[in-house]
Amino acid sequence: MTDTPPDFLDIDGTVIAVRRSAGEQPGVVWLGGFRSDMRGTKAEALNDWAQRNGRAYLRHDYSGHGESGGDFLDGTISKWLGQSLVVFRRFTEGPQILVGSSMGAWIALRMVQELRKAGEGEQVAGLVLLAPAPDFTSELVEPQLSEAQKRDLAEKGLFEVPSEYSTESYAYTRALIEDGRLNRVMDGPIDTHCPVHVLQGLADPDVPHTHALKLVGLLPADDVTLSLIPDGDHRLSRPQDLDMLIRAVEAISTQAR
């Protein structure tokens, strides 16, 4: 793991940690998942690849995550999306490949929409989406809510569930869920106008492979590749998974040049 200290960018009063390295285009932009950070196994594997190949690479921690400031419980998709767009516009130049893991795939798809709306869509050269969880609040969390969890949301403004990946519980706030409905992308066709490669484990306990299949079905106008990994879990951080990730990024890089 890199020991280089991050840069810090003030976004609306919150300090956001950013790590970046200069290099050739298309650059690669990492977008992490819910409660993850930019120093995880996949992000570091991409950093090593970028360093070896002289490729530009950018990553950051959302507010309430990793080395960034802010309270995790204050986070919403809109807030984390806004931070990601500021970092993207501040630190990238030329076409970029967005690599989104789990919730990061949702952020990536929303970034494409917002960049296209602003006339900046050509800056996205491609997408690599790992265990993609767009719309997870409305598609995966809300349908499974117990009566007790609904009561906690109404009375406390949040509910918590144990995490398989951390000693800390995952907290889902009412603000996150309500904001998630405003950021839905899977309610109609998704036009990215760039190649997309989806990697999905069939042994993923958090995001079922049917969610990835539904997403792919909403990308009819684009060059889409779906790689289903029979024994892959949600993390997709084993050596063979990392190899598939790098090959997906390299393939889209070749298409973009």
The CATH number given to whatever domain includes residue 43 is 3.40.50.1820
Mean pLDDT for all residues in the chain: 95
| Mean pLDDT, rounded, for 32-58 | 97
Is 55 a member of any domain? yes
Is 224 a member of any domain? yes
Mode of pairing for the β-strands spanning 170-173 and 158-161: antiparallel
pLDDT of res. 168: 77
> In angstroms, rounded to a whole number, what is the distance separating the alpha carbons of residues 253 and 14?
33
Is 29 a member of any domain? yes
- The model's pTM is 0.96
Is 175 a member of any domain? no
pLDDT of res. 137: 97
Is 122 a member of any domain? yes
Is 142 a member of any domain? no
- Count of domains for the chain: 1
Q: Is the pLDDT of residue 163 over 80?
A: no
> In angstroms, rounded to a whole number, what is the distance separating the alpha carbons of residues 207 and 173?
19
| Mean pLDDT, rounded, for 19-36 | 97
Cα 202 to Cα 95, 151, 230, distances in angstroms: 32, 33, 5
Q: Tell me: the pLDDT tens digits for 101-133? A: 999 999 999 999 999 999 999 999 999 999 999
| Mean pLDDT, rounded, for 182-205 | 96
**C-alpha torsion 176→236→18→2, nearest 10:** 150
pLDDT of res. 3: 65
Q: Is the pLDDT of residue 1 over 50?
A: no
Is 61 a member of any domain? yes
Is 182 a member of any domain? no
**Residue 32 is part of which domain span?**
7-135+190-256
